[in-house]
Chains A and B, each alone.
Chain A
Amino acid sequence: MGAHMAANLQKAGHDLIVHDMRQDAADPHIAAGATWAESPQAVGADSDVVFLSLPGPPEVKAVALGDKSLLSGMMPGSACFDLSTNSPTLVRQLHATFVEKGVEFLDAPVSGGPRGAESGKLSLWIGGAEDAFNTYKPVLDAIGDRAAYIGAIGAGSVAKLVHNCGGKSVQCALAEVFTLGVKAGIPPLKLWETVRQGIIGRENPFDSLTRHFLRNHYDPPDFTLRLAQKDVSMALELAREVGVPMRFASMALEEITEAMSRGWAERDARVAMVLQQERAGVHIAVDDGRVDAAVAKMATERAANDN
């Protein structure tokens, strides 16, 4: 990821100072005019703003605070953006330590994969001081086309973990239902083409949240919980019949059944999502006008992007 993001900064005309555990990784950047620094400390001493793209918390901690650390080199008034996928707790600790020395620390994890890092079609989710975000926005824009301020320090990392963790649970659930469909006799590609034209396949996984979950509106129903229970029950019956274990779908049916027991049968099927909010001690109810505006904004940006 870092190779592509650093290259895009150079292409945008920024004067680059680079460091990596393996110096040969820096060769293409040096060939393109970047300066090599022997340590994170040396990078910090010569830069107004520093970006980190590292595997995870231990590596970020070592670079930020370890031997010849970044912090020991950085000047008051400068800023560090951590592009790694990191722990919100660690970035908050680092933020506190950096701020003591007058250096801004922001978390700025990215989403879009190596292809997105290369093409610049990349989201950056920034948590920390909003002033620093605004100051360095042109530099962030050189890395990715969607740099967005999310909230206080750690908020970018929280959004990233929500995104990636949600994706992995969804992946497990999709593996289950596809093995069911294939074992029940539909060729895999035919099944994929088919479900892709359904209401779920026509949109991304997050858009359906705007209809009920974010607004906390489950009445009147688009599709009742009672009918959802019937559908998932039939899928699990089929799975038992053809011999496909369904861990995630079984858990989903338990949620729906619990929601039915609350007397929610005639409410929208998404009402089962209220149970998790109760368990977590969280209440989500975003004002309709704000949700509508966000949906409209997303549609406009998408149309602009397609053209």
Chain B
Amino acid sequence: MKVGFVGLGMMGKFMAANLQEKGFDLVVHDLNKAAAEPHIAAGAAWADSPKALGEAVDVVFSSLPGPPEVEAVALGENGLLAGMSKDGAYFDLSTNSPTVVRRIHAVFAEKGVHMLDAPVSGGPHGAESGKLALWIGGPEAVYNKHKSVLDAIGDRANYIGDIGAGSVAKLVHNCSGYAMQCALAEVFTLGVKAGVEPLALWEAVRQGAQGRRRTYDGLINQFLPGEYDPADFALRLAHKDVSLATALGREIGVPMRMANLALEEMTEAMNRGWGNRDSRSPMILQLERAGVEIAVDKDDIRAALERDGAANDNPKLN
């Protein structure tokens, strides 16, 4: 199978190299031709434009900074669409806007070309080692047909849903990371200013309940099943803890925007009469604000944990 790759930057160069190593016949393009040299040296062909690349291959991947670059490569003059033939497939590996990928998908579909969003997670290290998640949105048959190519790029290629679904998952993932980063910067400045050495502080919290589990595993017992009773840890006690932390922040002069906002959520939940429910019950307030209900069957959660296979890492479901 001939594979095209556009965008040989920090992430793209590793993913393209992995495709070559797995024996795929590669055609490459980048704004900067020098970026293609290692690939050409390893046997790849150079295409002068996305259009020329689209004409030469069966399946195309792009790894680009964002929506404007993807739109230009996909739909611009000498873009992929001008070159690709009917029934070809185009996977966009960039982190892109779900709205933009849906629009590009529609334009491609008019010409009988499949466009799928396939953002990746794992960073440059993951792109290099192949320890990379790919989250695919679009026609499932096209995903299945190209699964072996996707597997050459990352060890966790998964079909998420309709076009745009991969991008939604990626934005949820990355956005949670940046919000968490701000929250952790706050509490660490609190701890350090309160006199604890930064590395000793890290080693301590790393051994706590939050530090011993994977980031999203705290969601499995309350938030996903939508069950906040009986309490694992009562909201009343969590409210006390965050009150003590923010009071300490005021005492020693550490502004805590996010923690104070979290405390407001907890106070509101207390006023709902939820003091003896689990301390995750304030999450219901956000569900209400968003107009979303979440109540996953526990057997389905159990099955998902089993599918993951990493039994040692897995949390216990209540």
Contact = CB atoms under 8 A, between A and B. Distances in A.
A209 B184 contact: yes
A201 B216 CA distance: 6
B133 interface: yes
Interface string B278-309: 01101101110111101010001100100110
Contacts of A188: 224, 294, 296
B238 interface: yes
B55 to A, nearest CB: 30
Interface residues of B, number: 123
B257 A163 contact: no
Contacts of A172: 258, 261-262, 265, 282-283, 286
Interface string A247-270: 111011101100000000000011
A112 interface: yes
A294 B182 contact: no
Given A111-B209, A162-B188, A163-B211, A189 B99 contact: no
B83 interface: no
A169 B206 contact: no
A243 B212 CA distance: 34
A220 to B, nearest CB: 10
A194 B135 contact: yes
Contacts of A22: none
Given A175-B287, A199-B126, A204-B213, A210 B202 contact: yes
Given A158-B248, A286-B199, A294-B199, A185 B95 contact: no
Interface string B143-165: 00000000000001010111011
Contacts of A195: 169, 172-173, 176, 216
Contacts of B96: 234
A235 interface: yes
Contacts of B40: none
Interface stretch (B18-26, B46-54, B106-114, B239-247): B239-247
Interface stretch (B31-39, B74-82, B117-125): B117-125
Contact of A175 (B220, B251, B283, B300): B283
Nearest to A57: B244
A265 B117 CA distance: 26
Contact of B238 (A116, A164, A282): A164
Interface string B161-196: 110110011111111111111111111111111111
Given A56-B240, A197-B121, A249 B179 contact: yes
Nearest to A201: B216
A232 B186 CA distance: 19
Contact of B184 (A87, A125, A206, A279): A206
Nearest to A156: B204
Contacts of B174: 200, 228, 231-232, 235
B203 to A, nearest CB: 6
Contact of A183 (B158, B175, B246, B291): B291
A178 B294 contact: yes
A197 B173 CA distance: 10
A123 B206 CA distance: 10
Interface stretch (A32-40, A44-52, A73-81, A144-152): A144-152
Interface in A175-212: 175-186, 188-210
A105 B171 CA distance: 48
Interface string B248-277: 100101111111011101100000000000
Contacts of A160: 208, 241
B97 A237 contact: yes
Contact of B172 (A180, A228, A251, A286): A180
B93 to A, nearest CB: 14
Contacts of B156: 197
B304 A193 contact: yes
A120 B180 CA distance: 29
A151 B199 contact: no
A167 B279 CA distance: 11
A151 B196 contact: yes
B132 to A, nearest CB: 9
Given A169-B259, A188-B224, A198-B173, 20 more contacts: A155-B200, A158-B201, A168-B241, A169-B183, A181-B172, A182-B290, A186-B168, A190-B160, A194-B158, A196-B214, A197-B133, A204-B214, A213-B188, A234-B95, A235-B172, A241-B99, A248-B261, A276-B186, A280-B254, A282-B192
Across the A-B interface, give the 4 residue pairs with the lowest CB-CB distance, nearest first: A169-B183, A165-B245, A179-B290, A198-B121
